[in-house]
Structure 1
């Protein structure tokens, strides 16, 4: 073992020297303080391809290196890990003491030939009045994530980046061309003295630690280090098995090829054991002469170096050990040797049997204790105490689920989020299932698992995804659901090529089924349930386009004697109830608001938050309400789903949407009322509707006739038209919408 470790140390110490010796005479080997090993290079003929070209700008002192011909500075190149360290500008949003914006910098990192490391980097937002996003691409698909941080004074937070003064989130894997956006809700007006600016950035998570001085320190920082990944042939998707057959295979003599782990294609090269150097250079991996390095490891014999290894010739009176060492022979005659051998064999056999029995017993005890530990760690005791009907769901073993997912093969991943991953599994009876696996070592994910299991054990509804069972004996908790084959409502609305398969009648049916499921959660279960994360990506569709509401990890049970709960604000940006965000008071009307955003999404086919739209249109909920108030509904509807036959139904659903998006929860309908209205529209016989102008005088009463009114729970008058119930909208609501949704 000690010799093996010494080999590694020698390889690391001598790699740089060997690489330099293999470089062509005209190829520069460094730029300033940066070593530039092949396949990277700065001169013609000195690099493998376009993505490996390094520009050395000699106008700086010391010289600075940049990726290809761009402006992304490189500070480190790692051949072993397939990584580069680059410098990236941080985003900032600053205001003066009067709340006037003085600076808003939203930097981009253009990396069409590289990907941002999802394992080495994190996205951070720092500030007491801050919302921030990072957006990137995986092929033609757009991915975005973000977080919110909030505080009223510097004394309210500790030095953990957990949402108070600082928030953080993971980066989606294989992201390219990222853009950072950072904004403020209240222009820092109440916190300006100690926090006039918000900051957001992607950074190597080992290079940033949040502290009380971060607000001040970040004002002086322009760039922070980011780790990006590189590989050979990742653009064409070639793996080692493909690349080894081609003439331009990059791994040279005495090397091995290693596929990129995330399955995106491409590969890296490494020197074989016993060799060191640059695996991308021809003859770059050279044999290590262990006989010289280790000062004769065969002593007292003679050492002979071999390719990748060594052997020994031992003198008389010594014997060779494993081919790599010599030892003196014992001066014992042959008869004694035979006797000792028999005794040793007998004792060894007895010991082997005894040890085997002991180890078998200890393994059984250890396995039983480990399963018990995981059962308790995953909330088994709590679930057993609270729910006697836990046994009604099937209890799967860890081995069953491991086989069902092909040992959790990455090709079986159906989805991934902050909670962990969802895998597709196939049981021995060929039944397809979805297996939700939480993150390792995260107590909050375990609590979320327990919460979701307790919620689902109370639910029995055709439009709620069915829980088949769970596994509590593994390190991370597992939930097993029915497999829903047709993807999410979000993908069908937004992904190219799928929107055309969802005509208006089908969208209306899905909306009605979803509303019915939420109404059931609010009013038909023994203890009312608030979903708390209603969104189109949590609505699954089966092969018949039947809606299935999913993901109850954030849901809350409401005791019978309460109509609201004070909780830590949780939800998805764009769908989050502004009243809940402002007061932390969670009610059933919070689900109603989120459902209203879903209705706006299916009516417009627009994403709920998009920084690619004009500033006033970035938040879909606010934009949709404004369009109705300005009698311009036609401009926001998806023209592919509206025609003369369904225009009246679309208007009614738009009115219902506006009602659900009321800023004040008391002015929103209940989910049961919403479900009844939509069910009525679904069951309504078709009639030949005349062509109606959606943006003019004929739309004066988009929310129904003022002659048909009812009194809502707050005592204020609302409107009711045939087929839908809606409420009025006054200037105060408009002001509150601006207050809660001003994303600048």
Structure 2
């Protein structure tokens, strides 16, 4: 054995060997015998620097003693001294623990129940109903059993089929794991989702349909892909959520299985049939696994390091490192590279002997010896060889004969080298500045090409004669940086799912809104540029104008006209926002929005689907005229196509149910979203409001239900009821109801919607015209002989045979 372990020492390797011996001495001072041997070895190395002999006896003794003395260190402790490390078949590592002084904080206390179970089972002491089935120290999660599920049973007599419940991980330090859990719903024709505490922003949506009369779920399969069962991912860091289940397609129900369930479970859970084959009493006794992420401390790693000498810092010793938790508050501790064990215990991370690993040992050259060091290792070449000893590195090469150069040669050579180095340094600084500038230019050119700048230039050139296209400007990055004070956070107007909007002032003093997109798919650059060209040609008074773009940045920058008076959402839902909308203003806003959408669907050169119509995307100018904005997820459609098949995108509450089920988006999907906005104009209520009762959380469901029961006045806003005529209200409500049809084919087109609403305005149009011209200070006379009216697309012109006093031309007015 001793003859097999040879460590060769040469003058070239004296310092590394001395360093290694010092390290070993620091760890083995508690053993007098080993410490004495180490000191003798250091003296031998220091006194015999030119001794080309094999230190076989020393390395062999030290290696043997290390193997004998490190037996306890190999099996690193996972719990505090005197504490139990298991409960039944489950390992309980610190910071979790059983008994006084064995756990870090109260949330980590474990109760081992041996009286009711054999073998014993562990439970969280703070929540004794939660049985622990696994604790992971490396991945920082705890796996538990839960029994509570949310159940919804559709009542065909009342037509109600919605349920709501709240769930919590009981807060710090636990959050529901986003990587190891899935949101699952089981049942027929249900829409299940979970939302944050405010109830407005959904975080996971799941739709389950049944093409047959009975839901079929194969418990041996983990697909659960939407037929009788669906599941989806959840976001990181949630410790509390509200769970909702809504019945859909209620008019077409023919089966008897009307109950459904939804719950959050571990992603490997697949026994779905157990919830369909039991009665209600047994339902809440069925166990299923859930995974909770955990962290320690209340602050970040940086904050905790400042208190490293106090008891608040949880990481055990110098052989650990800290990473902020990405799933909740606090942080997690890990053993440093080359160490293993429990990073939360003092000296809990022990050195790994890499040289015992055959795979690592094979990294050394065949002539080299693997030597373990604290947290690492190195490969030592034998006497007469030099190199790093690594097989794929320099290996071990014979040492060449040493022949020193004369001093008369060395000094001039050194001076010459120094001068060359100084010259190279100065040249390098100049070259660095030049190269950096060129790189910036090339990078801008790369981004310009990647974002479709060359294609846009060609299309602008090819569109000769189009004044609108020629007016679309391609901005440079520096101009927009100056306009936004280098994209200062104080200039932010708002943030959305597809970018951030800044307020800016151009060099000519014009105020604009600059949208900084998050990303552009390189595979869809042609489509992006085509849509940019289409939007640049849109010239409608109720659609925000696109003024230009900048394509030489990493993500495109779009420049729009600035609209200063907030959004329609502010006018409808902010209590302190003035003025309050009158019925005539609401009706005018509805007509103008409908006209804008009809223009996009029918009058543009290529039909455009907006895909995210909602009050917060409708801006209001100083005269309270609406401006449709935020075309971030809009898509143009070839004239011969009727729909797009895309991933479900939009805002919950305004999403077309048909699009949610099939993924196909048509012009009728925009009609549905407009119907929701129209109901908000009538009622002044939000589309989704968790503060309302279960049956009224969804505004569309409440509205359609009251319409069926002829109780429309119960939901309308008081000011609307006072100011509007009954027949007008009924017409608008019926238009909204048609827009909200679940079957998209039964919905009207936006052109038909605009015409229906315009008829109401036309019934008292003279009074509206007089008000408009009086605002401009012009006296007008009208006749009833209207010769041309275009009620479809925004900025249209109509004429009458009446004439303005003192003017021989026909009277013109804007519709």
Give the TM-score, by structure 2 length.
0.57
**Corresponding position of 1:708:** none
Per-residue deviation, 1:144 = 4.7
3-state SS, counterpart of residue 282 of structure 1:
coil
1:39-438 alignment, distance < 5 Å: 39-58=95-114, 59-67=116-124, 68-69=126-127, 71-87=129-145, 109-113=167-171, 114-118=174-178, 121-123=181-183, 125=185, 129-137=189-197, 143-150=202-209, 152=211, 169-186=232-249, 200-203=262-265, 207=268, 219=276, 225-234=289-298, 238-246=299-307, 247-252=310-315, 253-254=317-318, 255-261=320-326, 266-286=330-350, 305=373, 329-335=399-405, 388=463, 389=469, 392=472, 394=474, 415=495, 417=497, 421-423=498-500, 433-438=514-519
Equivalent residue in structure 1 for 2:723, among 642, 648, 659: 648
8 Å Cα contact 2:492-2:501 kept in structure 1: yes
3-state SS, counterpart of residue 197 of structure 2:
strand
Per-residue deviation, 1:677 = 5.5
8 Å Cα contact 1:87-1:226 kept in structure 2: yes
8 Å Cα contact 1:566-1:584 kept in structure 2: no
1:509-528 alignment, distance < 5 Å: 512-513=588-589, 515-523=591-599, 525-528=604-607
**Corresponding position of 2:642:** 565
Distance 1:188 1:56 in 2: 52
8 Å Cα contact 1:123-1:169 kept in structure 2: yes
Say whether 1:621 aligns with 2:700: yes
Distance 1:171 1:52 in 2: 25
The C-alpha deviation readout for 1:546-601, integer Å capped at 9, x for no partner, is: 754334455465777x8x93555966554356788899998766544432322333
Residue 614 to residue 541, structure 1, CA distance change in 2 (3 Å): same
Q: Structure 1: give runs of 5+ residues left out of the alignment.
A: 1-12, 687-712, 714-744
1:481-500 alignment, distance < 5 Å: 498-500=574-576
3-state SS, counterpart of residue 520 of structure 1:
helix
8 Å Cα contact 1:312-1:326 kept in structure 2: no
Per-residue deviation, 1:69 = 0.8
Residue 603 to residue 224, structure 1, CA distance change in 2 (3 Å): farther
Query: How many corresponding residue pairs?
Result: 636
8 Å Cα contact 1:99-1:188 kept in structure 2: no
Distance 2:444 2:259 in 1: 49
Say whether 1:31 aligns with 2:87: yes
1:588-607 alignment, distance < 5 Å: 591-604=670-683, 606-607=685-686
The C-alpha deviation readout for 1:2-59, integer Å capped at 9, x for no partner, is: xxxxxxxxxxx99994342x51413x33334433333333434333334334444443
3-state SS, counterpart of residue 279 of structure 1:
coil
The C-alpha deviation readout for 1:116-140, integer Å capped at 9, x for no partner, is: 34455554556663322122338x9
8 Å Cα contact 1:488-1:540 kept in structure 2: yes
Give the TM-score, by structure 1 length.
0.62
**Corresponding position of 2:798:** none
Distance 1:197 1:379 in 2: 55
3-state SS, counterpart of residue 241 of structure 1:
helix
8 Å Cα contact 2:381-2:388 kept in structure 1: no
8 Å Cα contact 2:314-2:344 kept in structure 1: yes
**Corresponding position of 2:629:** 550
Q: Structure 2: give runs of 5+ residues left out of the alignment.
A: 1-70, 279-285, 422-426, 464-468, 772-790, 792-815
3-state SS, counterpart of residue 192 of structure 2:
strand
3-state SS, counterpart of residue 242 of structure 1:
helix
8 Å Cα contact 2:194-2:205 kept in structure 1: yes
8 Å Cα contact 1:434-1:483 kept in structure 2: no
**Corresponding position of 2:76:** 18
Residue 47 to residue 146, structure 1, CA distance change in 2 (3 Å): same
8 Å Cα contact 2:74-2:350 kept in structure 1: no
Residue 592 to residue 318, structure 1, CA distance change in 2 (3 Å): closer
Say whether 1:665 aligns with 2:719: no
Say whether 1:636 aligns with 2:715: yes
Distance 1:583 1:325 in 2: 62
Residue 87 to residue 265, structure 1, CA distance change in 2 (3 Å): same
Distance 1:173 1:199 in 2: 23
**Corresponding position of 1:706:** none
3-state SS, counterpart of residue 196 of structure 2:
strand
Residue 667 to residue 203, structure 1, CA distance change in 2 (3 Å): same
**Corresponding position of 1:535:** 614
3-state SS, counterpart of residue 99 of structure 2:
coil
Residue 229 to residue 490, structure 1, CA distance change in 2 (3 Å): farther
- Which structure: larger Rg? 2
Distance 2:339 2:664 in 1: 64
Per-residue deviation, 1:333 = 2.2
3-state SS, counterpart of residue 101 of structure 2:
coil
The C-alpha deviation readout for 1:204-262, integer Å capped at 9, x for no partner, is: 55x379xxxx986985896665544333345xxx3333333454433333133333447
Per-residue deviation, 1:468 = 5.7
